[in-house]
Amino acid sequence: LQNKIKTLEANQMAEEEASVASHKEFNERQEASLAKEQHLAEQLKEIEAKLSEATTLKDEMNSELGTHKAASLQKQEEQTKVCDDLQNKIKTLEANQMAEEEASASSHKELNERHEASLAKEQQL
C-alpha cells in the first residue's frame, strides 16, 4: 500500500512538473508571439505613415496638375504604385498577425486540453 501511495505521489509530481513545463512553454510562446505582434504593429505604423505621406504627395501633385501636367501624371503613377505596394504590405502584415493570433489560440487550446487530460488522470488515480 505504501509503495502504491509512493507511486501515485511520484506520478502526481511528474504530472505537475509536466504541467508547469507546459505552462512555461506556452508562456514563452505567447511572449514571443506578443513581441512579434508588437514588431508587426510598429511596421504597420511605419507603413501607414509612409502611406499618409504618399497620399499627401499625391494630393499636392494633383493641385499642380494644371502647370506640370506631364510630370505630375508620371509622379502620380509612381505614388499610386507606392500606395498600392504599401497597401499590399499592410495586408500581408495583417495576415501574418492573424496567423500568429490563430497559432497562439491553437497553442492555448492544446495546453488547456493537456491540462484537462492531466486533471482527468489525477481524478482516476
| pLDDT tens digits along 3-61 | 999 999 999 999 999 999 999 999 999 999 999 999 999 999 999 999 999 999 988 87
pLDDT exceeds 80 at position 69: no
Q: Is 1 helix (H, G, I), strand (E, B) or coil?
A: coil
**Residue 38, pLDDT score:** 94
Q: How many CB atoms lie within 10 A of CB 86?
A: 20
Centroid of chain to Cα 42: 12
Q: What percent of the chain has pLDDT over 70?
A: 98
**Residue 66, pLDDT score:** 65
Average of per-residue pLDDT values in the chain: 90
> CA 59, CA 56: separation in Å to the nearest integer?
5
Q: Is 111 helix (H, G, I), strand (E, B) or coil?
A: helix
Mean pLDDT over 97-117 rounds to 90
